[in-house]
C-alpha cells in the first residue's frame, strides 16, 4: 500500500456495497485528486469469503470484524450491513477505536444516532450518514451546514420510494392497493415482505433523523405517529382527485406550541403543490426556515448508485479532513423540547363513510362532529351500485385535533345508520 493512501474498510458488500466498490474503482484517480491522496480498500467484511466479489481481491475479504480493528492502516470504515444489530455495536467499536465511520443505516441512526455521535465526539472522530435518509439526495449536509443559520420550523417529505411508486400507480391508473403492491414487487421496488415500507416504519426512521437535525432535538422513531397505506382504495384517489388533491405518504415534522409534532401518514395534497408532483420512486424533502423560506430537495432516494453517491461523498469529506489534519467540528447541542402525542396533532381531515341512504344521516354525523368542535368544509355524497340502499359520504373538515377526530369517529361508528367508516386521512394545509 502506498504510504500516503487513506485506508478504507467496508462492513457488508450487498447491492449498495457493490455499487460503492465499483465507484471506488471507476473514480480512483479523480478521488485521489480531490483528497490529495488515493483511497485504498483494505478490508471488506462479508459472511461468505469463498464467494468472489467483483473488484475485490480474495485477500481483502474477511468474515471477522476483529480483522478490521486490528489493521492500523484503516482510517475510515463504511457500514453497509443494514439492520440494527450487530451494526450498531460495530459502529460504536470502530468509533471507540479512533476511526471515522460512514453509514447508510437509517435504523441505527434513528434509534441510536445521538449516542453514537457522542461516542464519535469523545474519540475525536466523525460519524457521517448522508445516505441514511434520502439516498442520493443531499439533505444531511445542508441541514448540518448550509441551513444552520436558519430557525427551521418544518420538514415535509416523501421519503419512501416503494410507497410513492405504489401511490403514483393507484392515482394514475385507478388500481387498488393489492395490484399496486404486486406490480412494485414484480419490478423489485417492494420487498417480498413490504411491511416496513407500507406501514411507514422506514419513513419514520428517516423522519426521526431529519427532525433531530432540523430542530436540534433528540427524537425516537417511536415518537413518530404512523399510519400506513394498506387501507387505501382506488376510490379514495378518485374522490381526492374530484376535490383537487392527490394522496402521498407524507412524513411531516413541525415545531408547534413549543414542542415537536412528527407523523408519517397518507395525506391529501393539493395538486398544485410541488410535493404532489413527485411521482414514481422519486423522493423529495421540503425544509422551511426563517431566512431561506421554503426549499425543496428532490431526486432518487434509493438504489445502489444514488446511495453509493452519498456514501462516497461522506468518505471524500472525511478523507480530506484526514489529509488536512482538521479536527471534527463540535456537535450542535440538542434542545429539550416535548414531543407532542398524536392526540395533540392538528390537521384537516378527509373522511369516507358508508351509510344507510335515508333522511337525517348527514345531520346526525354533522351533529357529532360539531359536538367535538370539528367543522365541515365540504360533503360529497355518492350512491353505491348495490341493492342495499347505501350511500358513501366523503366529508372534509377544517382543522381539528387528533383526539377530537378519534372521539367523533367512535360516536359515528356507533350510529345504526353507519355501515362502515372506510378511511380517514389527513389533509395538508
Q: What CATH class does 343-427 carry? A: alpha beta
- What is the distance between the alpha carbons of residues 300 and 284, in angstroms, rounded to a whole number? 9
Percent of the chain scored above 70 by pLDDT?
98
The second-level CATH assignment, the architecture, of 141-298 is 2-Layer Sandwich (3.30)
φ, ψ of residue 85 in degrees (nearest 5): -125, 140
Q: Average pLDDT in the 394-420 region?
A: 97
Three-state DSSP state, 45: strand
pLDDT digits 0-9 by tens, 22-48: 999 999 999 999 999 999 999 999 999
Three-state DSSP state, 57: coil
Task: Kindly report, as residue ranges, where domains of CATH 3.40.50.720 are found in the chain.
Answer: 6-135+304-324
pLDDT digits 0-9 by tens, 71-124: 999 999 999 999 999 999 999 999 999 999 999 999 999 999 999 999 999 999
pLDDT at residue 207 above 50? yes
206, 226, 238, 336: which is the annotated catalytic residue?
Answer: 206
pLDDT digits 0-9 by tens, 299-330: 987 788 889 999 999 999 999 999 999 888 77
Could you give the angle at the alpha carbon of 238 between the alpha carbons of 262 and 170, nearest 5°? 70
106 is catalytic: no
Among the CATH numbers 3.40.50.300, 3.20.20.30, 2.30.42.10, 3.40.50.720, which is that of 6-135+304-324? 3.40.50.720
pLDDT digits 0-9 by tens, 241-283: 999 999 999 999 999 999 999 999 999 999 999 999 999 999 9
> For residue 412, which of 349, 351, 348 has the smallest C-alpha distance?
351
pLDDT at residue 357 above 70? yes
Identify the helix (H) or strand (E) that includes residue 289.
Answer: strand 282-289
Per DSSP, which regions of 274-322 are E strands? 282-289, 293-300
φ, ψ of residue 13 in degrees (nearest 5): -145, 50
Q: Where are the alpha helices (DSSP H) in 100-200?
A: 106-122, 131-134, 140-141, 161-173, 177-186, 195-198
The pLDDT value recorded for residue 385 is 65
pTM reported for the whole predicted model: 0.94
CB 151 within 8 A of CB 289: yes
pLDDT at residue 384 above 90? no
Amino acid at each position: 500500500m502506498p504510504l500516503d493512501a487513506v485506508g478504507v474498510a467496508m462492513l457488508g458488500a450487498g447491492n449498495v456495497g457493490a455499487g460503492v466498490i465499483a465507484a471506488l474503482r471507476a473514480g480512483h484517480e479523480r478521488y485521489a485528486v480531490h483528497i490529495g491522496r488515493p483511497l485504498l480498500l483494505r478490508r471488506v467484511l462479508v459472511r461468505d469469503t469463498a464467494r468472489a466479489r467483483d473488484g475485490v481481491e480474495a485477500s481483502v475479504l474477511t468474515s471477522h470484524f476483529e480483522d478490521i480493528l486490528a489493521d492500523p492502516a484503516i482510517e475510515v470504515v463504511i457500514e453497509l450491513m443494514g439492520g440494527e444489530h450487530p451494526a450498531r455495536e460495530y459502529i460504536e467499536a470502530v468509533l471507540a477505536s479512533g476511526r471515522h465511520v460512514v453509514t447508510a443505516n437509517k435504523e441505527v441512526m434513528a434509534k441510536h444516532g445521538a449516542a453514537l455521535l457522542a461516542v464519535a465526539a469523545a474519540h475525536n472522530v466523525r460519524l457521517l450518514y448522508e445516505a441514511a435518509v434520502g439516498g442520493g439526495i443531499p439533505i444531511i449536509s445542508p441541514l448540518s451546514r448550509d441551513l444552520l443559520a436558519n430557525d427551521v420550523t418544518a420538514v415535509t417529505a416523501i421519503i419512501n420510494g416503494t410507497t410513492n411508486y405504489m401511490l403514483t400507480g393507484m392515482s394514475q391508473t385507478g388500481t387498488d392497493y393489492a395490484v399496486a403492491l404486486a406490480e412494485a414487487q414484480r419490478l423489485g421496488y417492494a420487498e417480498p415482505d413490504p411491511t416496513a415500507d407500507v406501514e411507514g416504519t422506514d419513513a419514520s426512521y428517516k423522519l426521526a433523523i431529519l427532525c433531530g437535525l432540523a430542530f436540534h432535538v433528540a427524537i425516537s422513531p417511536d415518537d413518530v405517529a404512523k399510519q400506513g397505506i394498506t387501507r387505501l382504495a382506488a376510490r379514495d384517489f378518485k374522490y381526492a382527485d374530484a376535490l383537487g388533491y392527490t394522496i402521498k405518504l407524507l412524513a411531516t415534522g413541525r415545531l408547534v406550541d413549543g414542542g415537536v409534532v412528527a407523523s408519517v401518514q397518507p395525506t391529501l395534497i393539493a395538486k398544485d403543490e410541488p410535493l404532489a408532483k413527485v411521482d414514481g420512486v422519486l423522493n423529495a424533502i421540503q425544509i422551511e426556515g426563517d431566512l431561506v423560506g421554503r426549499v425543496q430537495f428532490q431526486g432518487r432516494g434509493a438504489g445502489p448508485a444514488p446511495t453509493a453517491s452519498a456514501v462516497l461523498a461522506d468518505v471524500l469529506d472525511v478523507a480530506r479532513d484526514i489529509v488536512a489534519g482538521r479536527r471534527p467540528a463540535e456537535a450542535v447541542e440538542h434542545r429539550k423540547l416535548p414531543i407532542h402525542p398524536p392526540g395533540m396533532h392538528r390537521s384537516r381531515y378527509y373522511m369516507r363513510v358508508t351509510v344507510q341512504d335515508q333522511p337525517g344521516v348527514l345531520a346526525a354525523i354533522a351533529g357529532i362532529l360539531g359536538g367535538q368542535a370539528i367543522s365541515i368544509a365540504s360533503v360529497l355524497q355518492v350512491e353505491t351500485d348495490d341493492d342495499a340502499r347505501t350511500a358513501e359520504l366523503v366529508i372534509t373538515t377544517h382543522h381539528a385535533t387528533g383526539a377530537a377526530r378519534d372521539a367523533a369517529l367512535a360516536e359515528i361508528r356507533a350510529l345504526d345508520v353507519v355501515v362502515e367508516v372506510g378511511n380517514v386521512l389527513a389533509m395538508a394545509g
